[in-house]
Amino acid sequence: MCTCITYENGDFYFGRNLDLDCSFGEKVTVTPRNFSLNFCKSPRLEHHYAMVGMASAADSFPLYAEAMNEKGLCMAGLNFPGNALYQEACGEGIEVASFEIIPWILARCATVAQARDYLSQMRVINTSFSPQMPPAPLHWMVADRENCLVIEAVRHGLKIYDNPYGVLTNNPPFDYHLMNMNNYLNLTPQCPDNRFSSKLNLNSYAQGMGALGLPGDASSASRFVRAAFFKWNSVSKKDEASNVSQFFHILDGVAMIRGSVITEEGKYDITTYSCCMNTRTGMYYYKTYDDSCVRQVDMYGEDLEGGALVFV
């Protein structure tokens, strides 16, 4: 499971928890403007926008879990098993393999509006990166300061949703989460009044009682609601340190603690890492399960005119 959020408070931030029962060889990876991007079905891109994010360290192609480009466009992939359906390549439309979609979009789009144009013509195809790395069943969130979309390749084709919450988790499909949010419209961060019955003397006897009913478990639907509640009621000062701290506090509220979620294979799902990207400054912040010290990588600290991937 995973949780992805946007956060706007002066600057605009994008990040996620990556919840998994093992490592995928992740490294903070900068793709400079002149790294040659080879795609399965689209022409090679020799020059493009630079990007930074967490990727599986392969020299030939940046296998991003999430990334941000130098224009402030961001994209993340989250597990979507049982619902993601990628198509056979057949030469129609813009064919992009699932592992290519993040670099494909971030290399050439500055805004969500541009991404939407490409996505509306796109077919996500089931080509593998390598025999050892079959396609991962994912859906994606793409966002800039103005807009946020969710992209789901399902049985009926590619669905593109506007995402007014700026939150994404996992199954079921996004329209379920849109509907499910309405079940929680009564929650409030305020001290609640007695609305149960005017004939009863009911009192708020502790802090936080306005959000009684906010789901506390690690399921995807519950994390969606909890992340949205924390994000949309968040208050922080507008300086960088306060914003980044607040962002990680929101993610901590939906993080997975080892032992509390056991997969069908008997493994422990944990929040392997959490990250936060500032779309104006190109800063990628992250912390890991065993090291809560926040590290930072400055995209502009690397040679963005370079031609090779940089693993930081």
Ligand X SMILES: C[C@H](CCC(=O)NCCS(=O)(=O)O)[C@H]1CC[C@H]2[C@@H]3[C@H](O)C[C@@H]4C[C@H](O)CC[C@]4(C)[C@H]3C[C@H](O)[C@]12C
The single residue listed with the structure tokens 């208050």 is 235
Q: How far is the CB of 43 from ligand X (least distance, A)?
A: 21
Q: Which is nearer to ligand X, 107 or 211 (CB)?
A: 107
Q: Which is nearer to ligand X, 65 or 96 (CB)?
A: 65
Give the 3-state secondary structure of residue 85. Answer: coil
Q: Any catalytic annotation for residue 2?
A: yes
Q: Which is nearer to ligand X, 12 or 99 (CB)?
A: 99
- List the interface residues with ligand X, window 110-169 (CB under 6 A): 129, 133, 135-136, 138
- List the interface residues with ligand X, window 263-292 (CB under 6 A): 263, 269
- List the interface residues with ligand X, window 206-265 (CB under 6 A): 263
Q: Rounded to an integer, what distance in angstroms lies between the CA atom of residue 146 and that of residue 134?
A: 34
Strand partners, 287: 274
Give the 3-state secondary structure of residue 56. Answer: strand
Residue choice 5, 6, 19, 152 for contact with ligand X (CB under 6 A): 19
Q: Rounded to an integer, what distance in angstroms lies between the CA atom of residue 140 and that of residue 100?
A: 12
Q: Rounded to an integer, what distance in angstroms lies between the CA atom of residue 309 and that of residue 312?
A: 10
Site string for ligand X, 89-108 (x = CB under 6 A): ----------x---------
Residues 192 and 25 sit within 8 Å (Cβ to Cβ): no
Size of the site for ligand X (CB under 6 A): 22
Give the 3-state secondary structure of residue 76. Answer: strand
What amino acid occupies position 7? Y
Residues designated as active site:
2
Q: What residues line the site for ligand X (CB under 6 A)?
A: 1-2, 18-20, 24, 56, 63, 65, 77-79, 81, 99, 129, 133, 135-136, 138, 170, 263, 269
